[in-house]
Structure 1
Amino acid sequence: MFSLVSGAYRYFTRQDEYNVLMLGLDSSGKTTLLEKIKHIHTGVPGMPAENILPTVGVNISKVTMNRDLIKFMDLGGQADLRGIWEAYFEDCHAILFVIDSANGERIDEAGDVLIKLIKSEELEGLPVLILANKCDLSDAGSLVKIKEMVNGVADLLDSRDVRVMEASGVEGTRVQTAMDWLHSRIIDNRTKRPPAASDI
């Protein structure tokens, strides 16, 4: 009887856990965006944007979306830190690639980094959300340029789910819509990249 109750308890308290890598150049706003995601899903106020320092290494936060535990891993985007990204590829379920759409001078650089990610065999088939961040600061041409850049590498994307969206990590604009899309694609892809189990 105890084993039956224990088994039922484990079943009802188990969560599927998925890992999302937040990647992009330094100063693209990844950590600010993560603070907004945490606020939306927990109600706890995030750290003010002016107090956020550049990520060195990895910044990890977990939120629950429809009973699924989503672990966001915000990795430092400085050129000399990008070499550590590969250590996290094997266990991830999706890529959230953040681009500073207010800095048009670095969009091409971001595109080069994105292409390297797309070519990685360990990330093959994973959903990719490309977020044109800081839409509250950017001009309308930035999103067009980012979409053109993605269209230019369409042959490398195969049949994976890819979407380009505008958002603002500071204002929270379209952040929830972006996370809903990402979560749904992670679930759709779980036969190819199964979740890890976690106890609530």
Structure 2
Amino acid sequence: MYHLVKSVYANLTKQEEYSVLIMGLDNAGKTTLLEQLKFRYKVGGEQATVDLSGARLVPTVGQNVARIQVNKVNLKIWDVGGQESLRNMWESYYEDAHVVVFVVDSTDRARIEECRDTLDKVVSSDVLEGTPVLMLANKQDRDDCLEVEDIKEIFNKIAEKMSARDSRVLPVCALDGTGVVEAAEWIISRLLRNKNYRPPNLV
């Protein structure tokens, strides 16, 4: 009897949770973005601000995982390594993803086409059909960065593949948090809009 009551209680108290998949080439700023989100949206806590310009964050080998709450919506965020040797592992995360956040290093002009081709491969996956895609043009604080409009033009070639889903390009600076709140709010609005098509997990 005790175990039955415990099981019923556990099911009744489960909460909805959405999985956010952060991807991009290595050194794009994915882990810095995750750290910024962790500081700003602590589960059950208030927003905080943080300057990560002096932080030493090592490249992700494998994955980083964090749970946060934005506007009372629970998120499980996966930050996956962007080195070329690790990208073939990305597909193992697609099935559970409710939204894709693709981070672009706006200063890495030499690899901007590689970045475009990588995103092209991601959005071409049938597993991610209908999944919202947010592209973040990171490092917009740098004088040598590409403007958001220039980045949009470069990525226009794959825009038709995202026409059937919610997608957006937003400028951010992960180091000081500029644009992070706007990005988080866009994510939440699309997750809730897409809830019937890609329902949350119960945890």
The alignment's TM-score, normalised by the length of structure 2, stands at 0.87
One of 32, 45, 56 as aligned partner of 2:61: 56
The aligned counterpart of 1:148 is 153
Paired amino acid for 1:151: N
2-side partners of 1:88 and 1:185: how far apart? Answer: 19
Paired amino acid for 1:100: D
SS of residue in 1 equivalent to 2:32: helix
* Deviation for aligned residue 1:146: 1.4
* Deviation for aligned residue 1:105: 1.7
One of 97, 101, 108 as aligned partner of 1:103: 108
The aligned counterpart of 1:37 is 37
> Do residues 193 (structure 1) and 186 (structure 2) align?
no
Paired amino acid for 1:187: L
SS of residue in 1 equivalent to 2:90: helix
* Deviation for aligned residue 1:108: 1.1
> Do residues 178 (structure 1) and 190 (structure 2) align?
no
Paired amino acid for 2:184: M
Q: Is the 8 A contact 1:101 1:138 kept in 2?
A: no
Percent of pairs with identical residues: 41
2-side partners of 1:47 and 1:61: how far apart? Answer: 19
Paired amino acid for 1:118: V
* Deviation for aligned residue 1:145: 2.2
The alignment's TM-score, normalised by the length of structure 1, stands at 0.89
> Do residues 73 (structure 1) and 96 (structure 2) align?
no
Paired amino acid for 1:64: Q
User: 1:138-169, CA deviations, whole angstroms, 9 ceiling, x for partnerless residues?
Assistant: 54643222111232222211320000000011
Paired amino acid for 1:88: Y
Paired amino acid for 1:123: L
SS of residue in 2 equivalent to 1:17: strand
Change (3 A) 1:107 1:138: farther
SS of residue in 2 equivalent to 1:152: helix
The count of residues paired between Structure 1 and Structure 2 equals 196
Paired amino acid for 1:182: I
Change (3 A) 1:10 1:68: farther
Gaps of 5+ in 1: none
User: 1:58-99, CA deviations, whole angstroms, 9 ceiling, x for partnerless residues?
Assistant: 100110123321011000000000011011111110000000
Gaps of 5+ in 2: none
1:106-185 equivalence runs, <5 A = 106-139=111-144, 141-185=146-190
